[in-house]
Amino acid sequence: MSKKKVIIFGCQAIAIDILRHLHSLETVDVEMVITYEILSDISRGQESIIDVAEQLNIPISSPGRISNDLVQEIEKIQPDLIISAYYRKIFPKNLIKIPKLGIVNIHPSSLPDYRGPVPTAWAMLKGEKVFGVTIHQIDEGIDTGDILVQSLHDIDEEETGYDLYLKAMSIGSKLFIDNFENIINNKILPKKQRPGGSYFGKLDSKVFINWKDSAESIKNQVRVRSVPYNPIETILENKYFFINRVSIDDENKFPIQTPGKILKVYQDDRLLVSCSNGALIIEDYSVFPPFSGVEKEIYLKVGRHFDDL
């Protein structure tokens, strides 16, 4: 029996997991890996898919875009299947038509909801308690192709955006690997996506807290952007506060006050700050420029207000 020819367009841990699994199968030839490095992931200790592909002696291409030359090269290979694993570039129509089984993509949302590049972040920002992972066929739209497999999973209350990002990749690679034999042997009946759904774009790289938002909304904004990402900011006069973790004040000892007002300063420098419907405890933060001399006592004082943006 001839081996199935597979090409992987992918980045990050999810693509590496899939690459290693497919390379271990006697029924599959991984003909090529098309990828690009995400330096922020490498700096956080994640493996490089380029290094892994080189170790496995698999041809690698790292183009700035999907060019006609690359499409022609893939057409010569005549792959049975192309896999897209966190590859964030649009596939041209002439490429989609090449593989016998099409292109399948692993998308970390319950499509058709949360189409777009950062769905787990948006699910957390919107206060969702559950997120999905969907394996779907790629068509000419953005995350609009027919669904092959879909699963739902809890978003834990204290998970950060980075935690959920890693969790989604782990679930996505396992879901794909568990269903690969049925996908490559064309044993799954594709299902059309239901009408409607939603699309969300990229997140802003720099965001300031609007203290007029609800406590839950601010908490979710902090969670999504906390380290190792760029934490959300707030300003107290000429000091920038980078907020990494907050909790909602459940004691409700204070009446609702002007949003952004410091209501209490704890001995360990945590801050209780008012918002539109209560108060938040700022648990973990850094300050720039750092406090010097007696500045901390001047700034961290009941009644001071963070800027109202």
- Domain of 219, CATH number, reads 3.10.25.10
Same domain, 242 and 167: no
In a domain, 202, yes or no: no
Both 254 and 164 in a single domain?
Answer: no
Give the chain's domain count: 2
Q: Are residues 173 and 277 in the same domain?
A: no
Q: Are residues 61 and 140 in the same domain?
A: yes
pLDDT at 116 over 90: yes
What is the CATH classification number for the domain harbouring 134? Answer: 3.40.50.170
CB 77 within 8 A of CB 12: no
pLDDT at 1: 64
* Pair (48, 126) in one structural domain: yes
Name the residue among 153, 173, 155 with its Cα closest to residue 219: 155
Do 58 and 159 have their domain in common?
Answer: yes
pTM to 2 decimal places: 0.93
Domain assignment present for 308: no
Mean pLDDT for the stretch of residues 38-50: 79
- How far is the C-alpha of 154 from the C-alpha of 150, rounded, in Å? 14
For the chain, give the mean pLDDT: 95
Vertex 27 angle, CA 23 and 29, to 5°: 50
Burial 155-187 (b: 16+ CB within 10 A, else e): beeebbbbbbbbbbbebbbbbbeebbeebbeee
My answer on whether 175 and 108 are in the same domain is yes
Do 142 and 248 fall into the same domain? no
Asked if pLDDT for residue 33 goes beyond 80, the answer is yes
SS3 86: coil
Q: What is the mean pLDDT of residues 211-236?
A: 96
CB 280 within 8 A of CB 266: no
- Say if 102 falls within a structural domain: yes
- Dihedral sign for Cα 137, 143, 148, 154, please: positive
Does residue 231 lie in a domain region? yes
pLDDT at 255 over 70: yes
- Whole-number pLDDT of residue 241: 98
Asked if 163 and 244 sit in the same domain, the reply is no
Q: Work out the average pLDDT over 18-41.
A: 92
* Rounded distance between C-alpha atoms, residue 229 and residue 302, angstroms: 30
Q: What is the pLDDT of residue 213?
A: 96
Residue 209 lies in a domain: no
Q: Are strands 278-288 and 239-248 parallel, antiparallel or unpaired?
A: antiparallel
| Domain, as residue range, for 50 | 4-184
Cα–Cα distances in Å, from 43 out to 23, 39, 64?
26, 6, 21
Of all residues in the chain, the percent with pLDDT exceeding 70 is 99
Burial of 40 (0-12, 13-18, 19+ CB in 10 A): exposed
In sequence order, what are the beta bridge partners of 33?
8, 60
As to burial, measured by CB atoms within 10 angstroms (0-12 exposed, 13-18 middle, 19+ buried), residue 219 is buried
For residue 193, is it within any domain?
Answer: no
- The whole-number pLDDT of residue 250 equals 86
Whether residue 116 is contained in a domain is answered as yes
- Residue 141 forms part of a structural domain: yes
